[in-house]
Amino acid sequence: MSNLKIIYEYSEVVNMDLKKYIIQTPKLHKYFKLDWDVLRTQQYCGILNFENQDFYLLPKIADKDDKINKDDETNLNIFIYMLKYAYDIKLENEDIASCKNDKHTILEVFIQLFAQRLFKEFGRGVYKEYVTEQDNLTTLRGKYLINENLKTNFIKNKIYCEYDELSMNNTLNQFFLYALNSLLPFTKNKKLLKQCELVLDEVESKFFDINTLHVNFNRLNSRFKESFEFALLLLSKSIPLFSKDKKSFAFLFDMNVLFERFIGKIIQEKFDDVDIPKKSRKFGELYLKPDIIVKSKNLIIDCKYKIIKEEKIANRDDRYQMYVYANNFENIKTTMLLYPKHLDDIDKSVVLGSNDNKVELKIKSLDLDFSGTYDDYIEEMKIRIGKII
């Protein structure tokens, strides 16, 4: 741990070479904030590689000034634990340990894990599906194409046919090939990725927009769904910054999204009848999308990953938002704003509105700090969330 270069969220970037590089790289501007001459990190955490140096951008959850190195390890552990749990990443204890040395970054470990999982599934058989082919053959196969024969064949020893063939050249495998090629520059150990590529030697190379990509899964290819979703995660969080003379990259997660996913999954496991809306619902001209609806508790929760003191919590817009939720979603009379504990424990309740439209707003903070194994950490968070809700 002592060799890792760590920069905490919302802190100043003091490495002058790195600072200059970030300012000169437009792809990184959304992840940092420049105020006059001071460049600060924001709520994005992960890895930033610059000139073969890995900088860890970490959430500041454990904060005991007298134990700086211990805090670094605890914060990195917690970040990895939250990623593992929120995205259901099958990391073993040795994988987690590998993320904490200067030879293997989180991204390196995640890519190797993806490649191992995919290669294992390929060992059980590459997914194939029927595709329609047209070709000029010496024997009839499938459907005889009269018009194509008249256009193409001037001699009698060829037959133009249309037929269905079981092929590995399908959308799912084309995407895996695209993912393997895209991830190669991000890792030093390319052996397993190359082995997966060789398995797909008959697959056509294509570009994919992961924001619009849709693959249908069925009983024949469902065993590849986990690898597909893991590849999407890696591709969506990886930011290539490659040029002729530099091969830098970033692998960053928005802590707002990670905190929301982490809390949502814990609540789904701990309470009955929990809904986590994937898209907005329409109420007249309003489009509303709460983070979490705990129907068994008649409660709506919104997670706010903000580093604030108690006197600045729950601004006017947040209160209006929770009031509107409660007065549109059925049977909801209690709402909650949930923050990560940073400087202050937050535990208060206010009333919004009056009469029949009255809504209780609970404002709580969750202490994410805990030293222990992954399993112990998740169990402790479940206990703490149980007490809050």
DSSP state, residue 278 = S
Does some domain include residue 341?
Answer: yes
Quote the pTM value.
0.86
Angle, helices 171-183/106-123, rounded to nearest 10 degrees: 150
Phi (first) and psi of residue 301, to 5 degrees: -120, 135
Does some domain include residue 88?
Answer: yes
Amino acid at the residue 283:
F
Q: One digit per residue, pLDDT tens: the chain, 389 residues?
A: 557 789 999 999 999 999 999 999 999 999 999 998 999 999 999 999 888 888 999 998 887 554 556 688 899 999 999 999 999 998 887 777 777 766 678 898 999 999 999 999 999 999 998 877 777 776 766 666 667 776 777 666 787 787 777 889 999 999 999 999 999 988 888 999 999 999 999 999 999 999 999 899 998 899 999 999 999 999 999 988 876 556 788 999 999 999 999 999 999 999 999 999 999 999 888 899 999 999 999 999 999 998 766 556 667 888 899 999 999 998 898 999 999 987 678 888 889 888 878 899 999 999 999 988 999 999 999 999 999 99
Number of domains in the chain: 3
Does some domain include residue 246?
Answer: yes
Is residue 181 within 8 A of residue 115, CB to CB? The reply is no
Burial of 232 (0-12, 13-18, 19+ CB in 10 A): middle
Report d(CA 129, CA 169) in Å as an integer. Answer: 8
Does some domain include residue 245?
Answer: yes
Angle, helices 255-270/68-86, rounded to nearest 10 degrees: 60
Give the domain extent around 194. 5-124+171-255
Regarding whether 140 and 113 lie in a shared domain, the answer is no
Let me know how long the chain is: 389
Is residue 323 within 8 A of residue 360, CB to CB? The reply is no
Strand partners, 249: 49, 240
Which of 199, 228, 255 corresponds to the end of one domain? 255
